[in-house]
Amino acid sequence: MELCYYPGCTLKTTAKNFELPAIASIEKLGHKMVELPRWNCCGTVHSLAADDLMHQLAPIRTLIRVSETGADKVVTLCAMCYNTLKQANKIILEDNEKRDRINNFLDEEKDYSGNVSVLHLLEFLRDEVGFEEIKKRVKRPLDDLKLSPYYGCLLLRPEGIGIDDIEAPRIMEDLIEALGGEAVDSPFKSECCGSYHTVDDIDPVIERTKMIIDDSNARGADAIVVGCPLCFYNLDYRQKDAKERYKEFNSIPIFYFTQILAIALGLDESTCAFGEHFVDPRPMLLNKNLVLSGWK
């Protein structure tokens, strides 16, 4: 099946290690991610103001581009893109007055009626491919690998937008188990990582990173698995600051879920672009016999 794929800015630059293994894995599973030929910024945060339609235009324009290709769904990887696209689509579906105002304003575009469904790749893997099917395709089971899923906010909330149960999500756990790994539960898995404060106020981010990672370490996890480039940055790169502040801090590798999928499907580790990580996961993977020793 051909999948209409909306990457967003970050996937094309600092989160190549998220995109490359996704494209390769989906191909391995017999589908194809086809990038939307023309797309623009999603706006990154959904505008919460009831009187602000201007900031809904960017995501809606992207959804119009999707419907122009004839596709009825679009797949995203970035949690922020997923959230803004889906929330903007919800406005179009549920508020006729706002839908008409937006369509009147975008007079050069075709009218949009909310017919594109916004999917996160995790949903596609669960609902369209199926975890049972993925399990059958695993070439290199993640035996003996304890992974702690970290969902963050925007994959789960607000209600009606999230990809799984809002308080007790299982989707990443199910994926990890399908790949042969062991899912380690964490009470912080759906709590905020500090998000965009990482730009101007790193203190709360360092504290949260430390708390989340200390907990995963205490539960014996080998790594944390995320689905958002901002969570990834805060949990991976901010470990440097956490280590500077707390001598006793123990680092832990952070994976995108697409990377563990690629490894389990037997893809070459070069597709995972592990060089982009602050905490290199390869020594740990090598220890578990999951990557070739040639990378050094």
Contact between residue 263 and residue 289 where contact means Cβ atoms under 8 Å apart: no
Helices then strands (H, E): number in the chain?
Answer: 13, 8
CB closer to another protein out of 246 and 266: 246
Task: Give the residue, chosen from 67, 76, 89, 198, that forms a contact with another protein under the rule CB under 8 A.
Answer: 198
Q: Which of residues 263-292 bind another protein (CB under 8 A)?
A: 278
Backbone φ and ψ of 191, nearest 5°: -95, 155
Provide the residue type at 117 as one letter: S
Task: Give the residue, chosen from 200, 247, 293, 296, that forms a contact with another protein under the rule CB under 8 A.
Answer: 200
Give CA–CA dist 195/159, Å, rounded.
19
* Residues in a beta bridge with 148: 224
Is there binding between residue 169 and another protein (CB under 8 A)?
A: no
Site string for another protein, 51-70 (x = CB under 8 A): x---x---------------
Q: Which of residues 132-161 bind another protein (CB under 8 A)?
A: 153, 157-159
Minimum CB–partner distance for residue 153 and another protein (Å): 4
Contact between residue 271 and residue 20 where contact means Cβ atoms under 8 Å apart: yes
Give CA–CA dist 231/247, Å, rounded.
23
- What number of CA atoms fall less than 13 Å from residue 231's CA on the CB side? 30
Give CA–CA dist 213/201, Å, rounded.
19
Site string for another protein, 72-111 (x = CB under 8 A): ------x-x-------------------------------
Task: Give the residue, chosen from 34, 106, 138, 192, that forms a contact with another protein under the rule CB under 8 A.
Answer: 192
The rounded radius of gyration (Å) of the Cα atoms in the chain is 19
CB closer to another protein out of 34 and 202: 202
Residues that bind another protein (CB under 8 A): 8-10, 13-15, 41, 43-45, 47-51, 55, 78, 80, 153, 157-159, 166-167, 190-192, 194-200, 203-204, 208, 229-230, 232-233, 237, 278
